[in-house]
Amino acid sequence: MPSLSQRVAHSSLWLAGSRLVVRSIGLISTLILARLLTPDDFGIVALASAFYFVIQTLSDLRFEQALISLRDTSDADFDTAWSMNAIRGGGIALILLLGAYPYAALMDDMRLVGVMLLVALIPVIDGLRNPRFIMFEKAMDLRREFVLQVTTKLAGFFVTITLTLIYREYWTLIVGNIAATLASVAMTYRFARERPRFSLASFRRLINFSGWLMGGQLVTAVLGRAQLFLVGAYLPAAKVGVLHVGSEIANMATHEVLTPIRRALLPALAHLSGDEGNHRKAFRYAMTSIVGLALPIGLGIVMLADRLVPLLLGDQWLGAIDVMRFVAVVGALSAISSMGDTVLISKGHTKPLFRRELLKLAYVIPGLWIGIRLGGFEGLLVAWLVVAHLELAVNLDMLRRHTGVNPIALLAASWRSVLAVAGMVAALWGSMQVLPPPGSGLGSDIASVAALIVIGALTYGSLHLALWLAAGKPDGFEARALHIVGGLRKRS
């Protein structure tokens, strides 16, 4: 039977594979749509989606994480989770319908009314998904997740592109999301054959676990889209579109590599929650791995942003260059910060997360508001980066207080990653001085970006390996990565 680390690796690979395919489809979709629609079109949809995201997150009962973390689950648990999610979906739809006109008036764009009416269909459909599908993730068997994610994305892709080619209207983006949601819900019943029934028998049991997480979501919902709301309130919709698309592309690489690792780690760490020594050891490996992956991805995007945006999106999206640079760093910092959430949830310590979210109210929205008032769009980006550093410090302190882990020692273990990424940045900068500048022609631009990606990856990887060998091959990120690769090669 595979070891726990190998099971985590296999799960991470399936998740990474699904997210890579999904994001590749999403990237192709964005590239096509960016040339068919305008930043203003994307801005309208982003504002409507942001409102939906807040209501959805505010009401997120987090029962899925409870079903993963609880050691014993019964039919009543799944039936209750399904029933509450269905009720929640109807409630979200009602809020969207009632709030459509006031929100459109607040954002001074009445086009939002029609978009919000379409968006209201999504939570009704999504609330009916089969919660038993989560058992595949709990068992760290993510093959079905791969099929579900890819099928869902393809359904949305074909519907969105087809309708946009015909109509060239922003509402086609929402119809594509509705099609994707329908496909996703249908697939959960295709794989998890047991049908849920209406029941609230386990409500108290599930809410006792997820209650503090849900409380934290009340704050996270607002903070997670504060940037879009502020830009929508103070600047034209086109700026919202630039912020949304630039953020999506900047976060794409970081999320697709690191999110699968965090998702696979939650059931693994929950499994080790009774073994303090192995739990801390596993977390230390996880943190050094996240740092070792987040830094090169984030800084690599910073270096390549001025070449990627005109190549991928066209000249009308040049304003997204600065967005990508700032958000890439923010994404890397957030990925490192979020590991504290994973380890605390795995041990059932959810109350500190709620308190942390309350604390963020004191600095996130005020900081972003000051940034946009003093510096406009660029001021918001600077403030966003400052807030991300503060959030990392707060999360590391929370980790120290509630787990006994020394955050300084934890980050110090990643010194080889820091030096390797510094060498990577230097190599990229030097290469850019001899490669053709952006705008030298499509073939030249593609070749330059491809060359820079290869140079960055080879430089970072070789420096990391050299530093590890010079340090005497310590047990850490590199050793674990080589061990997992070796195990996967033997398996194949």
Give the pLDDT confidence of 178-206 residue by residue, as tens digits. Answer: 999 999 999 999 888 788 888 888 877 77
* Residue 271 falls inside a structural domain: yes
- How much is the pLDDT for 40? 86
393 — pLDDT class (breaks 50, 70, 90)? confident
> Are both 156 and 174 inside the same structural domain?
yes
- How much is the pLDDT for 488? 47
* Residue 124 falls inside a structural domain: yes
> Are both 402 and 423 inside the same structural domain?
no
> Are both 378 and 390 inside the same structural domain?
yes
53 — pLDDT class (breaks 50, 70, 90)? confident
- How much is the pLDDT for 223? 64
* Residue 489 falls inside a structural domain: no
- How much is the pLDDT for 261? 62
> Are both 11 and 137 inside the same structural domain?
yes
pLDDT greater than 50 at residue 1? no
If you ran DSSP here, which 8-state letter would residue 196 be given?
P
- How much is the pLDDT for 292? 84
Task: Please give the residue range of the domain that contains residue 479.
Answer: 414-484
Q: What is the mean pLDDT of residues 393-403?
A: 78
Count of domains for the chain:
2
pLDDT greater than 70 at residue 442? yes
* Residue 229 falls inside a structural domain: yes
- Residue 275: CB atoms within 10 Å: 11
> Are both 379 and 437 inside the same structural domain?
no
- How much is the pLDDT for 272? 54
> Are both 396 and 419 inside the same structural domain?
no
> Are both 448 and 478 inside the same structural domain?
yes
pLDDT greater than 60 at residue 7? no
Expressed in percent and rounded to 5, the helix, strand and coil fractions of the chain are 85, 0, 15
- How much is the pLDDT for 140? 61
Highest mean pLDDT among 42-56, 86-100, 198-212, 376-390: 86-100
Min mean pLDDT across 2-6, 237-241, 273-277, 380-384 is at 2-6
> Are both 205 and 249 inside the same structural domain?
yes
* Residue 492 falls inside a structural domain: no
- Rounded Cα distance between 177 and 333, Å, is 29
> Are both 461 and 354 inside the same structural domain?
no
3-class secondary-structure state, position 410: helix
* Residue 69 falls inside a structural domain: yes
pLDDT greater than 80 at residue 137? no
pLDDT in tens, 61-117: 666 766 766 667 778 888 888 898 899 999 999 999 999 999 999 888 888 999 999
Instruction: Identify the domain boundary among 373, 389, 413.
Output: 413
pLDDT greater than 80 at residue 423? yes
- Rounded Cα distance between 346 and 69, Å, is 7
> Are both 38 and 129 inside the same structural domain?
yes
Q: What is the mean pLDDT of residues 461-467?
A: 91
Averaged pLDDT score across all residues of the chain: 80
Instruction: Identify the domain boundary among 413, 444, 460.
Output: 413
* Percent of the chain scoring above 90 in pLDDT: 22
pTM over 0.85: no
- Rounded Cα distance between 397 and 395, Å, is 5
**Which of residues 347 and 200 earns the better pLDDT score?**
200
String of DSSP letters for 318-354: TTHHHHHHHHHHHHHHHHHHHHHHHHHHHTT--HHHH
- How much is the pLDDT for 463? 93
Instruction: Identify the domain boundary among 397, 413, 429.
Output: 413
> Are both 232 and 89 inside the same structural domain?
yes
- 429 burial type by CB count under 10 A (0-12 exposed, 13-18 middle, 19+ buried): exposed
Distant-in-sequence contacts of 152-157, Cβ < 8 A, 24+ apart: 152/22, 152/180, 152/181, 152/183, 152/184, 152/187, 153/21, 153/22, 153/25, 153/26, 153/180, 154/25, 155/179, 155/180, 155/182, 155/183, 156/29, 156/180, 156/183, 157/25, 157/26, 157/28, 157/29
* Percent of the chain scoring above 70 in pLDDT: 76
Min mean pLDDT across 39-43, 132-136, 404-408, 439-443 is at 404-408
pLDDT in tens, 282-291: 677 777 778 8
* Residue 460 falls inside a structural domain: yes
* Residue 490 falls inside a structural domain: no
If you ran DSSP here, which 8-state letter would residue 235 be given?
S
- How much is the pLDDT for 183? 94
